[in-house]
């Protein structure tokens, strides 16, 4: 039956039940169920996950889910997002009562989360570096110069050994430089944003360059604009960046909201 379960998109701080007039997954009517200060954005569904053998269909379902969250951020200036296929099922009580009980039990945690993400958006930031150009910039490093000077006038055998040692030293200097750049970028961005965390994604958007740093950040409009200005000042021959978003703040609530 269509009323056996509730599909939940996310949570808003709104103390009323209401019919939202928005269309969600598969054109289903989205409405809000309230308990206390919070309401869940839901549609009626069956007791089974949305799935398909067609990857394009799965993508379409996820896009529909995220569209409701995007609309909630626009209308309510915030949303606590729940993951795709979050479904509240019927037990000895109805899914509506089960959802209300969950909202009541989680009220304090939802209150903390709302305070954290209100007015905020999540963005993805990828910072790239051009390895060849970075090598050119750090070739003047005193440690590298010293390694090169130590090889001058040496015999072939000794020079070979020194070259191996020099290469190891140069690699160490380069890695230290890269790590220092990572730490500096991260510290500068985190100091401006509401929060920031390293992302584990290794997919490269710009295949011509290496990823220096891959971040998810939580920021309001002013913070985001300041971060962009900061990155633009650092952008040049060596460094570049790309921005994705805004998104609902999944990364900053996923460990607490469910």
Q: Which CATH number is 185's domain given?
A: 3.30.70
Number of domains in the chain: 2
Question: Does residue 24 or residue 15 have the better pLDDT?
Answer: 24
Q: Which residues lie across from 214 on neighbouring strands?
A: 126
113 and 179: one domain? no
Q: What is the pLDDT of residue 165?
A: 61
51 and 127: one domain? no
91 and 188: one domain? no
92 and 128: one domain? no
Q: What is the pLDDT of residue 151?
A: 52
98 and 126: one domain? no
Question: Does residue 131 or residue 15 have the better pLDDT?
Answer: 15
Question: Domain residues for 111?
Answer: 5-117
For the stretch 116-169, pLDDT in tens is 999 999 999 999 988 777 777 666 555 555 555 555 555 555 444 545 566 666
Averaged pLDDT for residues 102-106: 95
37 and 125: one domain? no
Whether 78 is in a domain gets the answer yes
Whether 89 is in a domain gets the answer yes
pLDDT class of 1 with cuts at 50, 70, 90: very low
Q: What is the pLDDT of residue 171?
A: 72
Whether 37 is in a domain gets the answer yes
Global pTM exceeds 0.75:
yes
Q: Which of 117, 152, 185 is the last residue of a domain?
A: 117
Whether 164 is in a domain gets the answer no
107 and 42: one domain? yes
61 and 179: one domain? no
Whether 152 is in a domain gets the answer no
Whether 125 is in a domain gets the answer yes
Whether 87 is in a domain gets the answer yes
Q: What is the pLDDT of residue 238?
A: 83
113 and 127: one domain? no
CA gap 109, 106 in Å, rounded: 5
29 and 126: one domain? no
Q: Which residues contact 182 (CB under 8 A, 6 or more apart)?
A: 212, 213
Burial of residue 48 (CB within 10 Å: 0-12, 13-18, 19+) is exposed
128 and 238: one domain? yes
Is the CB of residue 64 less than 8 Å from the CB of residue 26? Answer: yes
For the stretch 157-197, pLDDT in tens is 544 454 556 666 667 777 888 888 899 999 999 999 989 99
For the stretch 53-94, pLDDT in tens is 999 999 999 999 999 999 999 999 999 999 999 999 998 999
Q: What is the pLDDT of residue 256?
A: 56
CA gap 139, 105 in Å, rounded: 60
132 and 235: one domain? yes
Whether 166 is in a domain gets the answer no
Supply the mean pLDDT for the chain: 84
Q: What is the pLDDT of residue 257?
A: 42
């Amino acid at each position: 039956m269509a009323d056996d379960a509730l599909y939940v998109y996310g949570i808003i701080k709104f103390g009323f039940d209401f019919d939202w007039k928005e269309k969600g997954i598969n054109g289903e009517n989205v409405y809000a169920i309230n308990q206390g200060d919070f309401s869940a954005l839901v549609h009626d569904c069956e007791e089974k996950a949305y799935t398909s053998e067609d990857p394009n269909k799965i993508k379409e379902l996820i896009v529909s889910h995220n569209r409701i969250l995007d609309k909630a951020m626009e209308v309510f200036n915030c949303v606590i997002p729940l993951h795709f296929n979050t479904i509240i099922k019927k037990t000895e009580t109805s899914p509506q009562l089960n959802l209300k009980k969950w909202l009541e039990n989680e009220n304090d945690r939802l209150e903390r989360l709302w305070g954290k993400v209100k007015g905020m958006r999540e963005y993805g930031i990828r910072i790239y570096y051009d390895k060849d150009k970075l090598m050119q910039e750090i070739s003047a490093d005193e440690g590298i110069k010293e390694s090169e000077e130590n090889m001058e006038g040496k015999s072939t055998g000794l020079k070979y050994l020194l070259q191996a040692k020099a290469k190891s030293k140069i690699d160490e200097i380069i890695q230290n430089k890269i790590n220092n750049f990572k730490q500096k970028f991260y510290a500068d961005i985190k100091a401006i944003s509401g929060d920031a965390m390293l992302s584990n994604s290794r997919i490269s958007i710009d295949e011509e360059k290496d990823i220096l740093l891959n971040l998810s950040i939580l920021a309001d409009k002013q913070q985001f604009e300041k971060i962009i200005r900061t990155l633009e000042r650092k952008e040049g021959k060596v460094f570049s960046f790309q921005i994705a978003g805004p998104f609902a703040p999944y990364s900053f609530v996923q460990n607490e909201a469910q």
